Structure 1
Amino acid sequence: MMNENFATVLETVADEAGDRVAIIHGDTRRTWAELDERASRLAGFLSGRGVGHGDRVAIAMYNGPEYVEALLATMKVRAMPVNVNHRYRARELTEIFGDSSASALFVDASLTGELARAEAPLLKTIVRVGEHGDGEDPLGGRAVPFAEALGGEPMPRIPRSGDDHWLMFTGGTTGRPKGVLSRHTTLFSIAISNGYRVMEAETPSDLEGLRASTRRLLEHPRRMISLVPPPLMHATGVYTSFGALLTGGTVVYPTSRSYDPEELAELAVRHRATDLCLVGDVFARPLVATLGRAAREGRPYDLSSLRRVFSVGVTWSAEVKERLLAYCDAILEDVIAASEGGPFARSVTTRRTGRVRSTFELMPGARVLDDEGRDVEPGSGTVGKLAAPSSTEVEYLDDPEKSAATFVDIDGTRYVVPGDMATLQKDGSLVLLGRGSRVINTGGEKVFAEEVEQVIARCPGVADVIVVGVPDEHWGHRIAAVVAREPGAGEDPDAETIRNAVAAELAGYKKPRDVVFVEQVRRSPSGKADLTWARDAAARAPQAG
């Protein structure tokens, strides 16, 4: 495996790709030469502010060329990017700035209001993208405009190493985001899987081999044009982008700041996209509805350029896959992976594979392990946890206890076991059952139930609460709160009060869509929540409020 910093890798690709288009965002087309030059100017700015090897640079922005330029600039100075969810409120921003020790930040102007309310004592440099709509600056002039940061001289290229650290924050299973710390060698292997594997190209082992491979891929008749609607603040969005860029391809980002299936279909046609990344049924179901409506109206979308449509981390249903295949003859790929590692399993469907199934095949080296660390016997009905070989370089940032629980040694091999539950059928195919922890995946966002419970429990008049995920056709799962009021407390909170309390402290996607009131919350004698009862109570009163 190539032992190079990923910035050096992309610089090498840029030297070969030159005036080819690297990024498309609306009317903006950024060539490879422009991308590299602008990132070098940002790197010069960061270096001039004292940001260098091992420092952390937070990025709280929306998809677009500026996000990629900030990522590349951060890697050029050998610092570590910190992905910040642009939906976070002040409390959550305070937590991630504290956990990451970020000393610099790239931030969209629309997010500076919450940033001004957050505590970030180590944050010395702020670069603002865009302008304030009302003309007022919540940061009081502390932020440097992006254009100004681009105004200096490009930083000369410097020696770097594949052993430099890479940091990706994930919601994980502990409520607060956890930083998954790895190295650029690991990042390179992920990008190879998302790029070279798809193109069926041989993996280069050094920079000279990369140059030769890039020249060949640039002339490939189906050079990768990847349409990426998932946000770059999540692993799927950034790793998909890196995979396409590694091949010298083009990444296309929608301009809508919320998912727009019509825009997605139009972009796929306009730019002749070869690869499309989705987030399970949350993205696929509205897209299929859009394609069907257009076909019925006599204006079908021409998706003949699509080679692959894939979802990572959030599975999508067989029914939606079948409907999508009516509009495109592409490979439909469903991958189970996590920020901590993987991939664990994969499901591939085409028009020629016949009936669409909801099962998966284990990836080479992956296993399903029971509570004793033994392989689950196919057809036994035993439920186990997915495990995949993991590099010794991967761990949680500043959390050895959590690292020891997730990254385990089995028979002399290190595995990552993030908590995905599954069982094996007689033929060896895998049926995914979901996370064993209390993480709720809603629309591709991870929500820790206890974090929401703690906010609701502080509401006047609330005696007890359990938060669960309820299956939802659109979101995969929706957040439901089962609440017991406190008798005689003088307060009688309603559903809107509960929702507003959560929205005031946490990101909007953590707000419960359903609020179900019960006389008493059911718990075990030890105080543990009866989750089965809570889910049943929530399901019996859908959309209650």
Structure 2
Amino acid sequence: MEFNHADLFEGIADAIGERVALVCAGPDGDGPRLTYAELDAHANRLAHHLEAAGVRAGQHVAVQLYNCLEYAAAILAALKIRAVPINVNYRYVESELRYLYRDSDAAALLYDVEFEERVAAAAPAAPRLRHLIAVGGPPGIPGAVAYDEALRGRPATRGFPPRSADDTYIIYTGGTTGMPKGVMWGMKDLLLAFYNPTLPRPERPEDVVEQARSGGPLVMMPVAPLMHGAAQMATFIGWFMGATIVYLRRFDPDAVWRTIERQRVNSLTVTGDAMARPMADALARGSYDTSSLLVFVSTGAILTGAVRDRLGELLPGVAIMDRFGSTESGSTAEAVAGSAPEKGLRFAADVDDVAVLDERLEPVKPGSGVIGQVARTGHIARGYYKDPEKTARTFPVVNGRRWLLTGDIATVEEDGSITVFGRGSQVINTGGEKVFPEEVEAVLKGHPKVFDAVVTGVPDERWGSRVAAVVQPYGDAAPTPEELDAHCRANLSGYKVPRTYAFVAEVKRSPAGKADYRWARRIAEEAGRRT
């Protein structure tokens, strides 16, 4: 057995095969379920089909699906034959799909028939994409195979070649500030970078299996879509604890609470306010049994203080947690008590190989007030697929150690905690002052008439850039710019207050809740020209 996710899942399936591994809930909170043994056999059938279709070790298998058991089986099947799963954003239009199919060098694609028109238009532009599997109905694309047909007659047994801890896993980033890039991981580094920090680090692969065997009857629900790396990693974290993983096909706040009630979910993972706020609204207006819930975790995006406080009121006794990390770094830190974007984000690192490096790439001294960027060494990604230049910039070697520069601007406090100001790529320079959008967004979302907000910089003749906000009101009770201005001035320095407001019916975010800053900048610039 190796530190390889396929090896580990098979070992766990052999140890606790009768335990439920996966539930795919419908709108009523219930749905089909597979035990570990059944999911392993299902993935074996798909893996044998991929082999028969000519997919070989090192080749890429793209997955363009909503959350479903076929998605989980596709990841496992690819890993079983040492192929590489590739996550595809199901909201992508034809031009974005053409880019991703080509950039990822996908050899095979599993797609939902709902997306068939876009797939049919984009797939011919990808010369290496030669095998299509349709999920959810008969295919309309010539040469594509129906999922059920792909599995029919395939053996449920294994019989695959040996794997390695160095096999590759790729997660494509969301691409909110540019076209997405594939983040490459080695399997052992991926395992340890995203391992549950409350558990002892495994010294042998068998330790992971034993942890799952001895784990209690835990039920975990990653709410984010599986096309987001956080949900994939949350799935493996749960399996490595011997837990039952619960999926919902698509995000619906009321369906989430019905599923928690029906499946007796203990641990819930969401992605920031974009999911947490509508879930809080649904919980407040509905009547759901949440007595099983112990932990509510946000990862990939930080909860604002207002949303965190409201969740605390609605879920008394439930631990509300923020996790800090990235696709390239893994899960690295947890928010300390009182941390919130409005007040300052402070995190305590889970591991010793997290630091803040200054402009000379030297560690920032605690309490010095020096600003640098969060960095990690040790178990980090290998780099970006087919992008050596970006890899060299992001993963420099300093004094013989390879580091990841996350781009998150931060300093180190006296007690060793890390205060994060925001993402450097989004910082707004207005008249020489730096404004971090995350802080202003959090203040805006604290206004009772604001449902969501994205803050960006737009060109300004005098200041270089000025702060602008794209705001989604709560229902029909839209705030006026004057109301928002007064609210912001009561909580922010004057230079951080937005000078331009654009009101929209819905803020554009990825299915994982990530803001689309390119879109926001365009909307804000158009609003500025009208005023």
Match of 1:121 among 117, 127, 134: 127
For the pair 1:515 / 2:523, whether they are aligned, the reply is: yes
SS of the residue 2:165 aligns to: coil
SS of the residue 1:336 aligns to: strand
Q: Which residue of 1 aligns with 2:425?
A: 437
For the pair 1:224 / 2:232, whether they are aligned, the reply is: no
Aligned equivalents of 1:346, 1:476: Cα separation in 2 = 24
- What residue identity is the alignment partner of 1:247? M
Does the 8 A contact of 1:306 with 1:330 survive in 2?
A: yes
Using the TM superposition, give the Cα deviation of residue 415 of structure 1 relative to its aligned residue in structure 2, in angstroms: 1.3
Query: 1:398-477 residue pairs with structure 2 within 5 A?
Result: 398-438=386-426, 471=441, 473=445, 474-475=451-452, 477=454
1:356-406 Cα offsets, whole Å, 9 max, x none, are: 984222343211122122333444443211001144761111222111111
Does the 8 A contact of 1:60 with 1:107 survive in 2?
A: yes
RMSD: 3.3
Aligned equivalents of 1:48, 1:343: Cα separation in 2 = 37
SS of the residue 1:127 aligns to: strand
For the pair 1:214 / 2:236, whether they are aligned, the reply is: no
SS of the residue 1:343 aligns to: strand
Q: Which residue of 2 aligns with 1:260?
A: 252
Aligned equivalents of 1:439, 1:228: Cα separation in 2 = 30
- Structure 1's unaligned 5+ residue stretches are 351-355, 441-467, 485-494, 500-506, 519-536
Aligned equivalents of 1:22, 1:324: Cα separation in 2 = 28
Using the TM superposition, give the Cα deviation of residue 481 of structure 1 relative to its aligned residue in structure 2, in angstroms: 7.7
Aligned equivalents of 1:392, 1:215: Cα separation in 2 = 28
Q: Which residue of 1 aligns with 2:28?
A: none
For the pair 1:72 / 2:49, whether they are aligned, the reply is: no
Match of 2:237 among 237, 243, 266: 243
Q: Which residue of 2 aligns with 1:533?
A: none
Does the 8 A contact of 2:353 with 2:378 survive in 1?
A: no
1:465-502 Cα offsets, whole Å, 9 max, x none, are: xxx99836344526798899xxxxxxxxxx99xx9xxx
TM-score by length of 1: 0.75
Query: 1:148-163 residue pairs with structure 2 within 5 A?
Result: 148-154=149-155, 156-158=158-160, 159-163=162-166
Using the TM superposition, give the Cα deviation of residue 104 of structure 1 relative to its aligned residue in structure 2, in angstroms: 0.4
Query: 1:210-359 residue pairs with structure 2 within 5 A?
Result: 210-217=208-215, 220=216, 223-255=217-249, 257=250, 259-294=251-286, 299=287, 301-326=288-313, 327-349=315-337, 358-359=345-346
Does the 8 A contact of 1:483 with 1:516 survive in 2?
A: no
Aligned equivalents of 1:349, 1:146: Cα separation in 2 = 48
Query: 1:472-483 residue pairs with structure 2 within 5 A?
Result: 473=445, 474-475=451-452, 477=454
Does the 8 A contact of 1:344 with 1:366 survive in 2?
A: yes
Using the TM superposition, give the Cα deviation of residue 435 of structure 1 relative to its aligned residue in structure 2, in angstroms: 1.3
Using the TM superposition, give the Cα deviation of residue 333 of structure 1 relative to its aligned residue in structure 2, in angstroms: 2.0
For the pair 1:362 / 2:363, whether they are aligned, the reply is: no
Aligned equivalents of 2:522, 2:96: Cα separation in 1 = 23
TM-score by length of 2: 0.77
- What residue identity is the alignment partner of 1:166? Y
Q: Which residue of 1 aligns with 2:469?
A: none
Distance 1:227 1:106, change over 3 A: same
SS of the residue 1:361 aligns to: strand
SS of the residue 1:36 aligns to: helix
Distance 1:392 1:24, change over 3 A: closer
- What residue identity is the alignment partner of 1:413? R
Q: Which residue of 2 aligns with 1:389?
A: 377
Aligned equivalents of 1:513, 1:271: Cα separation in 2 = 41
Match of 2:189 among 181, 186, 189: 186
Aligned equivalents of 1:174, 1:289: Cα separation in 2 = 30
- What residue identity is the alignment partner of 1:215? R
1:201-234 Cα offsets, whole Å, 9 max, x none, are: 6636133x444333222xx2xx321111101111
Using the TM superposition, give the Cα deviation of residue 319 of structure 1 relative to its aligned residue in structure 2, in angstroms: 2.6
Using the TM superposition, give the Cα deviation of residue 81 of structure 1 relative to its aligned residue in structure 2, in angstroms: 0.6
- What residue identity is the alignment partner of 1:13? I
Using the TM superposition, give the Cα deviation of residue 343 of structure 1 relative to its aligned residue in structure 2, in angstroms: 3.4
Q: Which residue of 2 aligns with 1:11?
A: 10
Q: Which residue of 1 aligns with 2:178?
A: 175
**Percentage of identical aligned residues:** 35
Distance 1:415 1:24, change over 3 A: same
Aligned equivalents of 2:209, 2:415: Cα separation in 1 = 43
Greater shift, 42-51 or 259-268, is seen at 259-268
Distance 1:514 1:391, change over 3 A: closer
Q: Which residue of 1 aligns with 2:95?
A: 91
Q: Which residue of 2 aligns with 1:108?
A: 112
Q: Number of residues paired by the alignment? A: 451
SS of the residue 2:202 aligns to: coil
SS of the residue 1:232 aligns to: coil
Greater shift, 399-408 or 428-437, is seen at 428-437
Does the 8 A contact of 2:110 with 2:132 survive in 1?
A: yes
Does the 8 A contact of 2:8 with 2:209 survive in 1?
A: no
- What residue identity is the alignment partner of 1:105? L
Distance 1:415 1:186, change over 3 A: same
SS of the residue 1:105 aligns to: strand
